[in-house]
Structure 1
Protein backbone atom coordinates (compact mmCIF):
# COMPACT_ATOMS: atom_id res chain seq x y z
CA UNK A 1 0.00 0.00 0.00
CA UNK A 2 2.88 2.36 0.79
CA UNK A 3 4.30 1.72 -2.67
CA UNK A 4 0.98 2.66 -4.27
CA UNK A 5 0.77 5.93 -2.36
CA UNK A 6 4.40 6.64 -3.27
CA UNK A 7 3.71 5.96 -6.95
CA UNK A 8 0.63 8.17 -6.93
CA UNK A 9 2.52 10.92 -5.12
CA UNK A 10 5.38 10.71 -7.59
CA UNK A 11 2.97 10.90 -10.52
CA UNK A 12 1.45 14.03 -9.07
CA UNK A 13 4.77 15.61 -8.16
CA UNK A 14 5.22 17.23 -11.56
CA UNK A 15 2.56 19.73 -10.55
CA UNK A 16 4.71 21.05 -7.72
CA UNK A 17 7.56 23.43 -8.34
CA UNK A 18 10.40 24.25 -5.97
CA UNK A 19 10.42 27.63 -4.33
CA UNK A 20 12.98 29.85 -6.00
CA UNK A 21 14.59 32.93 -4.53
CA UNK A 22 15.91 35.56 -6.92
CA UNK A 23 17.13 39.09 -6.51
CA UNK A 24 16.03 41.48 -9.23
CA UNK A 25 16.02 45.23 -9.47
CA UNK A 26 12.78 47.20 -9.30
CA UNK A 27 12.70 47.96 -13.04
CA UNK A 28 13.09 44.31 -14.04
CA UNK A 29 10.54 43.24 -11.45
CA UNK A 30 8.03 45.81 -12.73
CA UNK A 31 8.62 44.66 -16.32
CA UNK A 32 8.09 41.03 -15.28
CA UNK A 33 4.83 41.90 -13.51
CA UNK A 34 3.65 43.73 -16.61
CA UNK A 35 4.58 40.76 -18.78
CA UNK A 36 2.56 38.37 -16.61
CA UNK A 37 -0.39 40.77 -16.73
CA UNK A 38 -0.23 41.03 -20.54
CA UNK A 39 0.13 37.24 -20.76
CA UNK A 40 -2.94 36.90 -18.55
CA UNK A 41 -0.82 34.39 -16.67
CA UNK A 42 -3.24 34.02 -13.76
CA UNK A 43 -6.09 33.00 -16.09
CA UNK A 44 -3.80 30.67 -18.03
CA UNK A 45 -2.58 29.06 -14.82
CA UNK A 46 -6.13 28.47 -13.60
CA UNK A 47 -6.99 26.92 -16.97
CA UNK A 48 -3.83 24.77 -16.83
CA UNK A 49 -4.76 23.52 -13.40
CA UNK A 50 -8.24 22.66 -14.70
CA UNK A 51 -6.63 20.66 -17.52
CA UNK A 52 -4.40 18.89 -14.98
CA UNK A 53 -7.47 18.02 -12.91
CA UNK A 54 -8.93 16.24 -15.91
CA UNK A 55 -5.71 14.49 -16.91
CA UNK A 56 -4.19 13.53 -13.56
CA UNK A 57 -6.41 10.57 -12.60
CA UNK A 58 -5.72 8.70 -15.84
CA UNK A 59 -2.04 9.64 -15.75
CA UNK A 60 -1.66 8.47 -12.16
CA UNK A 61 -3.54 5.27 -12.98
CA UNK A 62 -1.35 4.61 -16.02
CA UNK A 63 1.84 5.28 -14.03
CA UNK A 64 0.77 3.01 -11.18
CA UNK A 65 -0.36 0.28 -13.59
CA UNK A 66 2.93 0.43 -15.45
CA UNK A 67 4.98 0.19 -12.28
CA UNK A 68 2.88 -2.67 -10.97
CA UNK A 69 2.87 -4.59 -14.24
CA UNK A 70 6.63 -4.15 -14.60
CA UNK A 71 7.37 -5.29 -11.05
CA UNK A 72 8.96 -8.69 -11.61
CA UNK A 73 8.66 -9.39 -7.89
CA UNK A 74 4.89 -9.61 -8.07
CA UNK A 75 2.92 -12.56 -9.39
CA UNK A 76 -0.31 -12.12 -11.36
CA UNK A 77 -2.53 -12.29 -8.27
CA UNK A 78 -0.41 -9.74 -6.41
CA UNK A 79 -0.53 -7.44 -9.43
CA UNK A 80 -4.34 -7.72 -9.52
CA UNK A 81 -4.50 -6.99 -5.78
CA UNK A 82 -2.17 -4.02 -6.16
CA UNK A 83 -4.26 -2.62 -9.00
CA UNK A 84 -7.42 -3.09 -6.94
CA UNK A 85 -5.79 -1.03 -4.17
CA UNK A 86 -4.82 1.66 -6.69
CA UNK A 87 -8.39 1.75 -7.99
CA UNK A 88 -9.65 2.11 -4.42
CA UNK A 89 -7.19 4.83 -3.37
CA UNK A 90 -7.00 6.82 -6.59
CA UNK A 91 -10.37 8.62 -6.34
CA UNK A 92 -9.41 10.09 -2.97
CA UNK A 93 -6.01 11.17 -4.26
CA UNK A 94 -7.63 12.72 -7.33
CA UNK A 95 -10.11 14.58 -5.13
CA UNK A 96 -7.26 15.92 -2.98
CA UNK A 97 -5.41 17.04 -6.11
CA UNK A 98 -8.53 18.78 -7.37
CA UNK A 99 -8.78 20.71 -4.11
CA UNK A 100 -5.11 21.62 -4.40
CA UNK A 101 -5.49 22.85 -7.99
CA UNK A 102 -8.56 24.93 -7.08
CA UNK A 103 -6.88 26.67 -4.16
CA UNK A 104 -6.58 30.38 -5.06
CA UNK A 105 -3.57 30.57 -2.75
CA UNK A 106 -1.71 28.18 -5.05
CA UNK A 107 -2.13 30.56 -7.98
CA UNK A 108 -1.12 33.53 -5.82
CA UNK A 109 2.02 31.72 -4.69
CA UNK A 110 2.89 30.64 -8.23
CA UNK A 111 2.43 34.20 -9.52
CA UNK A 112 4.62 35.57 -6.73
CA UNK A 113 7.37 33.11 -7.65
CA UNK A 114 7.08 33.74 -11.40
CA UNK A 115 7.85 37.46 -11.19
CA UNK A 116 11.38 36.97 -9.83
CA UNK A 117 11.88 33.94 -12.09
CA UNK A 118 11.30 36.06 -15.21
CA UNK A 119 13.21 39.00 -13.73
CA UNK A 120 16.22 36.80 -13.01
CA UNK A 121 16.31 35.15 -16.43
CA UNK A 122 15.50 38.05 -18.76
CA UNK A 123 16.68 41.62 -19.12
CA UNK A 124 14.18 44.47 -19.12
CA UNK A 125 14.61 44.76 -22.90
CA UNK A 126 13.91 41.03 -23.37
CA UNK A 127 10.87 41.20 -21.11
CA UNK A 128 9.62 44.19 -23.11
CA UNK A 129 10.01 42.15 -26.32
CA UNK A 130 8.07 39.25 -24.78
CA UNK A 131 5.41 41.67 -23.58
CA UNK A 132 5.09 43.10 -27.09
CA UNK A 133 4.70 39.59 -28.52
CA UNK A 134 2.07 38.52 -25.99
CA UNK A 135 0.13 41.73 -26.70
CA UNK A 136 -0.30 40.59 -30.34
CA UNK A 137 -3.17 38.41 -31.51
CA UNK A 138 -0.77 35.48 -32.03
CA UNK A 139 0.66 35.94 -28.53
CA UNK A 140 -2.82 36.05 -27.00
CA UNK A 141 -3.77 32.93 -29.00
CA UNK A 142 -0.63 31.22 -27.72
CA UNK A 143 -1.57 31.96 -24.12
CA UNK A 144 -5.17 30.88 -24.70
CA UNK A 145 -4.02 27.57 -26.15
CA UNK A 146 -1.20 27.00 -23.65
CA UNK A 147 -3.24 24.95 -21.13
CA UNK A 148 -4.57 22.72 -23.91
CA UNK A 149 -1.14 22.36 -25.51
CA UNK A 150 0.43 21.58 -22.16
CA UNK A 151 -2.16 18.90 -21.40
CA UNK A 152 -1.71 17.38 -24.85
CA UNK A 153 2.07 17.43 -24.40
CA UNK A 154 1.78 15.61 -21.09
CA UNK A 155 -0.54 13.04 -22.68
CA UNK A 156 1.94 12.54 -25.51
CA UNK A 157 4.75 12.09 -23.01
CA UNK A 158 2.71 9.52 -21.12
CA UNK A 159 1.96 7.67 -24.34
CA UNK A 160 5.51 7.72 -25.70
CA UNK A 161 7.81 7.89 -22.69
CA UNK A 162 5.97 5.83 -20.05
CA UNK A 163 6.20 2.49 -21.92
CA UNK A 164 9.92 3.04 -22.48
CA UNK A 165 10.52 3.92 -18.85
CA UNK A 166 8.54 0.83 -17.87
CA UNK A 167 10.79 -1.36 -20.02
CA UNK A 168 13.90 0.22 -18.54
CA UNK A 169 12.61 -0.30 -15.01
CA UNK A 170 11.71 -3.90 -15.80
CA UNK A 171 15.23 -4.51 -17.15
CA UNK A 172 16.76 -2.83 -14.11
CA UNK A 173 14.71 -5.02 -11.77
CA UNK A 174 15.78 -8.13 -13.68
CA UNK A 175 19.41 -7.02 -13.47
CA UNK A 176 19.07 -6.44 -9.73
CA UNK A 177 17.54 -9.88 -9.22
CA UNK A 178 20.46 -11.50 -11.11
CA UNK A 179 22.96 -10.03 -8.67
Structure 2
Protein backbone atom coordinates (compact mmCIF):
# COMPACT_ATOMS: atom_id res chain seq x y z
CA UNK A 1 0.00 0.00 0.00
CA UNK A 2 2.91 2.34 0.67
CA UNK A 3 4.09 1.79 -2.89
CA UNK A 4 0.65 2.71 -4.21
CA UNK A 5 0.60 5.91 -2.19
CA UNK A 6 4.12 6.73 -3.39
CA UNK A 7 3.15 6.22 -7.02
CA UNK A 8 0.00 8.31 -6.67
CA UNK A 9 1.97 11.08 -4.99
CA UNK A 10 4.65 11.01 -7.69
CA UNK A 11 2.05 11.20 -10.44
CA UNK A 12 0.26 14.04 -8.69
CA UNK A 13 3.55 15.92 -8.43
CA UNK A 14 3.56 16.17 -12.21
CA UNK A 15 0.55 18.46 -11.96
CA UNK A 16 2.87 21.26 -10.98
CA UNK A 17 6.25 21.86 -9.50
CA UNK A 18 6.96 24.56 -6.90
CA UNK A 19 8.80 27.67 -7.90
CA UNK A 20 10.89 30.17 -5.99
CA UNK A 21 9.93 33.81 -6.26
CA UNK A 22 12.31 36.76 -5.94
CA UNK A 23 11.67 40.47 -5.66
CA UNK A 24 11.23 42.42 -8.90
CA UNK A 25 10.83 46.14 -9.41
CA UNK A 26 7.35 47.65 -9.23
CA UNK A 27 7.21 48.54 -12.95
CA UNK A 28 8.04 44.99 -14.04
CA UNK A 29 5.65 43.51 -11.50
CA UNK A 30 2.84 45.77 -12.73
CA UNK A 31 3.61 44.81 -16.33
CA UNK A 32 3.53 41.12 -15.40
CA UNK A 33 0.12 41.54 -13.73
CA UNK A 34 -1.19 43.27 -16.85
CA UNK A 35 0.23 40.50 -19.05
CA UNK A 36 -1.55 37.81 -17.04
CA UNK A 37 -4.76 39.82 -17.29
CA UNK A 38 -4.46 40.23 -21.07
CA UNK A 39 -3.56 36.55 -21.42
CA UNK A 40 -6.74 35.71 -19.49
CA UNK A 41 -4.48 33.49 -17.43
CA UNK A 42 -7.26 32.68 -14.96
CA UNK A 43 -9.43 31.19 -17.70
CA UNK A 44 -6.46 29.35 -19.23
CA UNK A 45 -5.49 27.96 -15.84
CA UNK A 46 -9.02 26.77 -15.16
CA UNK A 47 -9.03 25.10 -18.58
CA UNK A 48 -5.69 23.44 -17.85
CA UNK A 49 -6.95 22.25 -14.48
CA UNK A 50 -10.03 20.78 -16.17
CA UNK A 51 -7.77 18.90 -18.57
CA UNK A 52 -5.61 17.68 -15.68
CA UNK A 53 -8.74 16.47 -13.88
CA UNK A 54 -9.47 14.27 -16.88
CA UNK A 55 -5.92 13.02 -17.39
CA UNK A 56 -4.59 12.50 -13.86
CA UNK A 57 -6.55 9.36 -12.87
CA UNK A 58 -5.38 7.50 -15.98
CA UNK A 59 -1.82 8.75 -15.46
CA UNK A 60 -1.80 7.68 -11.83
CA UNK A 61 -3.29 4.27 -12.66
CA UNK A 62 -0.82 3.71 -15.50
CA UNK A 63 2.10 4.61 -13.26
CA UNK A 64 0.89 2.34 -10.47
CA UNK A 65 0.31 -0.50 -12.94
CA UNK A 66 3.78 -0.05 -14.38
CA UNK A 67 5.41 -0.22 -10.96
CA UNK A 68 3.32 -3.17 -9.82
CA UNK A 69 3.88 -5.14 -13.01
CA UNK A 70 7.62 -4.55 -12.94
CA UNK A 71 7.95 -5.64 -9.30
CA UNK A 72 9.53 -9.07 -9.63
CA UNK A 73 9.03 -9.79 -5.93
CA UNK A 74 5.25 -9.96 -6.43
CA UNK A 75 3.39 -13.01 -7.63
CA UNK A 76 0.67 -12.69 -10.27
CA UNK A 77 -1.95 -12.88 -7.52
CA UNK A 78 -0.20 -10.18 -5.48
CA UNK A 79 -0.03 -7.98 -8.56
CA UNK A 80 -3.78 -8.44 -9.12
CA UNK A 81 -4.43 -7.63 -5.47
CA UNK A 82 -2.23 -4.54 -5.64
CA UNK A 83 -4.04 -3.30 -8.76
CA UNK A 84 -7.37 -3.95 -7.03
CA UNK A 85 -6.18 -1.71 -4.18
CA UNK A 86 -5.16 0.96 -6.66
CA UNK A 87 -8.55 0.75 -8.35
CA UNK A 88 -10.24 1.00 -4.96
CA UNK A 89 -8.22 4.02 -3.79
CA UNK A 90 -7.96 5.89 -7.07
CA UNK A 91 -11.53 7.26 -7.26
CA UNK A 92 -11.13 8.90 -3.84
CA UNK A 93 -7.77 10.37 -4.80
CA UNK A 94 -9.22 11.60 -8.11
CA UNK A 95 -12.19 13.18 -6.30
CA UNK A 96 -9.88 14.95 -3.85
CA UNK A 97 -7.70 16.19 -6.72
CA UNK A 98 -10.76 17.45 -8.59
CA UNK A 99 -11.87 19.39 -5.51
CA UNK A 100 -8.39 20.84 -5.22
CA UNK A 101 -8.35 21.90 -8.88
CA UNK A 102 -11.75 23.58 -8.48
CA UNK A 103 -10.76 25.60 -5.42
CA UNK A 104 -10.79 29.27 -6.50
CA UNK A 105 -8.12 30.04 -3.91
CA UNK A 106 -5.75 27.73 -5.81
CA UNK A 107 -6.07 29.87 -8.94
CA UNK A 108 -5.56 33.06 -6.94
CA UNK A 109 -2.42 31.63 -5.34
CA UNK A 110 -1.08 30.37 -8.66
CA UNK A 111 -1.63 33.75 -10.33
CA UNK A 112 0.02 35.57 -7.44
CA UNK A 113 3.04 33.27 -7.75
CA UNK A 114 3.18 33.63 -11.53
CA UNK A 115 3.65 37.41 -11.40
CA UNK A 116 7.17 37.18 -9.92
CA UNK A 117 8.06 34.38 -12.33
CA UNK A 118 7.39 36.65 -15.30
CA UNK A 119 8.83 39.71 -13.54
CA UNK A 120 12.06 37.87 -12.74
CA UNK A 121 12.54 36.41 -16.19
CA UNK A 122 11.54 39.30 -18.44
CA UNK A 123 12.15 43.03 -18.42
CA UNK A 124 9.21 45.41 -18.23
CA UNK A 125 9.73 46.22 -21.93
CA UNK A 126 9.69 42.52 -22.88
CA UNK A 127 6.54 41.96 -20.87
CA UNK A 128 4.88 44.90 -22.66
CA UNK A 129 5.82 43.26 -26.00
CA UNK A 130 4.29 39.99 -24.84
CA UNK A 131 1.19 41.86 -23.73
CA UNK A 132 0.91 43.43 -27.18
CA UNK A 133 1.27 39.98 -28.77
CA UNK A 134 -1.49 38.47 -26.64
CA UNK A 135 -3.88 41.19 -27.79
CA UNK A 136 -3.42 40.07 -31.43
CA UNK A 137 -5.60 37.35 -33.02
CA UNK A 138 -2.67 34.92 -32.96
CA UNK A 139 -1.97 35.69 -29.31
CA UNK A 140 -5.65 35.16 -28.45
CA UNK A 141 -5.58 31.86 -30.36
CA UNK A 142 -2.48 30.82 -28.44
CA UNK A 143 -4.27 31.38 -25.15
CA UNK A 144 -7.38 29.55 -26.38
CA UNK A 145 -5.22 26.59 -27.39
CA UNK A 146 -3.20 26.53 -24.15
CA UNK A 147 -5.41 24.03 -22.24
CA UNK A 148 -5.34 21.64 -25.20
CA UNK A 149 -1.58 22.05 -25.55
CA UNK A 150 -1.16 21.45 -21.83
CA UNK A 151 -3.27 18.28 -22.00
CA UNK A 152 -1.27 16.98 -24.94
CA UNK A 153 1.97 17.82 -23.13
CA UNK A 154 0.74 15.98 -20.05
CA UNK A 155 -0.08 12.94 -22.19
CA UNK A 156 3.39 13.15 -23.65
CA UNK A 157 4.86 13.22 -20.14
CA UNK A 158 2.82 10.17 -19.25
CA UNK A 159 4.09 8.35 -22.30
CA UNK A 160 7.76 9.31 -22.05
CA UNK A 161 8.71 10.55 -18.58
CA UNK A 162 6.49 8.67 -16.14
CA UNK A 163 7.66 5.18 -17.16
CA UNK A 164 11.23 6.30 -16.57
CA UNK A 165 10.32 7.65 -13.15
CA UNK A 166 8.56 4.36 -12.44
CA UNK A 167 11.71 2.45 -13.33
CA UNK A 168 13.82 4.67 -11.09
CA UNK A 169 11.37 4.29 -8.22
CA UNK A 170 11.26 0.53 -8.74
CA UNK A 171 15.05 0.35 -8.65
CA UNK A 172 15.11 2.41 -5.46
CA UNK A 173 12.52 0.15 -3.85
CA UNK A 174 14.46 -2.95 -4.83
CA UNK A 175 17.64 -1.46 -3.39
CA UNK A 176 15.81 -0.60 -0.18
CA UNK A 177 14.51 -4.18 0.10
CA UNK A 178 18.07 -5.53 -0.20
CA UNK A 179 19.23 -3.49 2.78
Q: Could you say whether these structures have the same fold, taking a TM-score greater than 0.5 normalized by the shorter chain as the test? A: yes
Structural mapping, 1:150-169, within 5 Å: 150-166=150-166
Find out whether 1:93 has 2:93 as its counterpart: yes
**In the alignment, which residue of structure 2 is the partner of 1:58?**
58
TM-score normalised by L of structure 2: 0.90
Deviation at 1:157, TM superposition (A): 2.4
**In the alignment, which residue of structure 2 is the partner of 1:114?**
114
Deviation at 1:156, TM superposition (A): 2.1
Runs of 4+ in 1 over 3 A off after TM superposition: 160-179
- Paired with 2:167 and 2:4, the residues of 1 have a C-alpha distance of 19
**In the alignment, which residue of structure 2 is the partner of 1:46?**
46
| CA RMSD in angstroms, aligned pairs only | 2.2
- Paired with 1:68 and 1:99, the residues of 2 have a C-alpha distance of 28
Question: How many aligned residue pairs are there?
Answer: 179
Say whether the 8 Å CA contact 2:61–2:90 is kept in structure 1: yes
Q: Deviations over 1:69-112 (max 9, x none)?
A: 11122121111110000000000000000000000000000000
Deviation at 1:175, TM superposition (A): 8.3
Q: For the structure 1 residues 164 and 16, does the alpha-carbon distance in structure 2 shift closer, same or farther, using more than 3 Å as the test?
A: closer
Say whether the 8 Å CA contact 2:67–2:167 is kept in structure 1: no
**In the alignment, which residue of structure 2 is the partner of 1:128?**
128
- Paired with 1:178 and 1:7, the residues of 2 have a C-alpha distance of 20
**In the alignment, which residue of structure 1 is the partner of 2:84?**
84
Larger mean CA deviation between 133-142 and 88-97 belongs to: 133-142
Structure 2 residues not aligned, in runs of 5+: none
Q: Deviations over 1:13-56 (max 9, x none)?
A: 12243252310111001100010011000110011000000111
TM-score normalised by L of structure 1: 0.90
- Paired with 1:167 and 1:129, the residues of 2 have a C-alpha distance of 43
Larger mean CA deviation between 47-56 and 167-176 belongs to: 167-176
Say whether the 8 Å CA contact 2:63–2:163 is kept in structure 1: no
